[in-house]
């Protein structure tokens, strides 16, 4: 999820927008020029769709949600559309007339979105009609998570809500609060069985019970350092990644950590700063760091397997795994395919010059990318 700088205290006075935004590209300087390489695979566009109003100039985590052969997309003006994943054919379109700022998420028979005026909407996946609409305490900047009978929703004022997936009724709220300064954005909650795991401002990863919101464990992934509030700012602004035996999380100005899911105790931790996020497979953890370096580390011990620093300053999205490859998007709208095992760059494809706020999504060997101008493309890479 991309970020921009701003003051939380000032933003709160002006209407509740969260604080300091994403600045990895700004710190890294001008984006590195595209490197020459010999393509090893061909990227083919299966279909393209105009999702609606552009989010250029806004930092919104709008993405293509893929599940059950369907793709859901939303635009900032509140238009939500469901498409056939294979063909891109429209199933339905609903104009909610709400300022959608996060999502959508597919699950529980619904398409769920969050809004900038502090609402959560669930649309019936079959008809597109609004099933329920619930107000939460402030702006929603991370896609809601659906699982275990609940919708987990994070708000910019440091609260995590558990809503009933069928009715939208508030079941519980967990309040962690926010520091004076933080990145504009919030950690993406993940439902993991009977737990909801989410990262919070201040660099703490927290697990709460999905049933009642009771805190189960808390682990610090980043520790503030420096003299000023700005220097001491740390944050977790991406989704944790789950493997069968571990939870992986990364913090801005903090660490990459592998944790035991039941207790939050670290298996290992490594200094690495990222607000974009990570992905994990059976052997490796992939991380896009603040400078635009893509890392591949052994998921069992944190040792570096390879890294690619040819995309410095290009404001990489979180990595996405599709087939044999790891894919990242950049600020100029390029998607880069690298082999998982050794980091060899094998393909590049441009969706739109507006770039990406959010990482593409993958399902069944197909990549679904949502550019900031509202273009959605389904892409397949093959030899």
Q: In this predicted model, what pLDDT tens digit does every residue of 192-223 receive, in sequence order?
A: 999 999 999 889 999 999 999 999 999 999 86
- Write down the pLDDT at residue 10: 32
Q: Whole-angstrom Cα distance, residue 107 to residue 166?
A: 11
Report pLDDT digits (tens) over 84-126. Answer: 999 999 999 999 999 999 999 999 999 999 999 999 999 999 9
CATH number at residue 173: 2.130.10.10
Model confidence at 179, pLDDT cuts 50, 70, 90, reads: low
Domain presence at residue 249: no
Contact indicator for 17, 2 with CB cutoff of 8 Å = no
The answer, yes or no, to whether residue 135 has pLDDT greater than 60, is yes
Cβ-based neighbours of 14, under 8 Å, separated by 6 or more: none
Higher-confidence residue: 16 or 352? 352
Domain count, the chain: 1
Domain presence at residue 285: yes
Model confidence at 14, pLDDT cuts 50, 70, 90, reads: very low
Domain presence at residue 208: no
Give the burial class of 320: count Cβ atoms within 10 A of its Cβ; 0-12 exposed, 13-18 middle, 19 or more buried. buried
Domain presence at residue 84: yes
3 state SS for 104-158? EEEECCEEEEEECCCEEEEEECCCCCEEEEEECCCCCCCCCEEECCEEEEECCCC
- Write down the pLDDT at residue 354: 93
Q: Whole-angstrom Cα distance, residue 224 to residue 355?
A: 31
Domain presence at residue 1: no
Q: How would you classify the pairing of strands 61-62 and 100-107?
A: parallel
Q: Whole-angstrom Cα distance, residue 10 to residue 237?
A: 20
Model confidence at 291, pLDDT cuts 50, 70, 90, reads: very high
Cβ-based neighbours of 133, under 8 Å, separated by 6 or more: 119, 120, 121, 122, 168
Domain presence at residue 21: yes
Long-range CB contact pairs, 304-313, < 8 A, 24+: 306/342, 306/343, 307/343, 308/338, 308/343, 308/345, 310/32, 310/35, 310/345, 311/31, 311/32, 311/336, 312/28, 312/31, 312/32, 313/25, 313/28, 313/29, 313/30, 313/31, 313/32
Q: What is the mean pLDDT of residues 244-262?
A: 94
C-alpha distances (whole Å) from 235 to each of 51, 114, 240 are: 31, 21, 13
C-alpha distances (whole Å) from 107 to each of 45, 225, 289, 332 are: 26, 40, 30, 31
Contact indicator for 84, 70 with CB cutoff of 8 Å = yes
Average pLDDT over all residues of the chain:
89
Domain presence at residue 369: yes
Report pLDDT digits (tens) over 137-165. Answer: 999 999 999 999 999 999 999 999 999 99
Domain presence at residue 363: yes
Domain range for residue 134? 8-198+276-382
- Write down the pLDDT at residue 315: 96
């Amino acid at each position: 999820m991309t970020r921009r700088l701003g003051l939380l205290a000032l933003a709160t006075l002006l209407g509740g927008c969260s604080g300091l935004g994403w600045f990895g590209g700004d710190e890294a300087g001008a984006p590195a020029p595209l490197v020459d390489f010999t393509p090893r695979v061909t990227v083919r566009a299966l279909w393209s769709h105009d999702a609606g109003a552009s989010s250029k100039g806004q930092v919104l985590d709008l993405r293509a949600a893929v599940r059950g052969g369907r793709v859901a997309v939303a635009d900032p003006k509140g238009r939500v559309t469901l498409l056939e994943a294979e063909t891109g054919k429209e199933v339905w379109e609903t104009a909610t007339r709400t300022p959608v700022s996060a999502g959508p998420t597919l699950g529980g028979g619904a398409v769920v979105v969050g809004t900038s005026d502090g609402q959560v909407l669930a649309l019936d996946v079959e008809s597109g009609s609004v099933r329920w609409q619930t107000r939460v305490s402030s702006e929603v900047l991370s896609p809601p998570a659906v699982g275990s009978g609940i919708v987990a929703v994070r708000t910019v004022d440091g609260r995590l809500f558990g809503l009933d997936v069928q009715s939208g009724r508030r079941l519980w709220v967990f309040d962690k609060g926010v520091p004076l300064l933080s990145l504009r954005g919030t950690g993406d909650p993940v439902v993991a069985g009977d737990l909801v795991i989410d990262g919070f401002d201040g660099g703490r990863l927290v697990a709460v019970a999905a049933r009642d919101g009771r805190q189960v464990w808390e682990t610090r992934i980043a520790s503030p350092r420096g003299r000023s509030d700005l220097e001491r700012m740390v944050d977790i602004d991406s989704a944790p990644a789950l493997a069968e035996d571990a939870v992986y999380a990364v913090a801005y100005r903090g660490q990459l950590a592998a944790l035991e899911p039941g207790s939050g105790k670290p298996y290992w931790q490594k200094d690495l700063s990222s607000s974009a996020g990570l992905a994990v497979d059976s052997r490796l953890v992939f991380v896009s760091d603040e400078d635009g370096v893509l890392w591949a580390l052994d998921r069992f011990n944190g040792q570096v397997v390879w890294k690619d620093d040819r995309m410095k300053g290009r404001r990489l999205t979180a990595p996405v795994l599709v087939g044999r490859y790891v894919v990242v998007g950049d600020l100029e709208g390029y998607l880069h395919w690298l082999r998982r095992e050794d980091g060899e760059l094998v393909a590049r494809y441009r969706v739109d010059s507006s770039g990406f706020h959010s990482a593409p999504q993958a399902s069944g060997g197909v990549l679904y990318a949502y550019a900031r101008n509202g273009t959605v493309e389904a892409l397949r890479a093959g030899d």
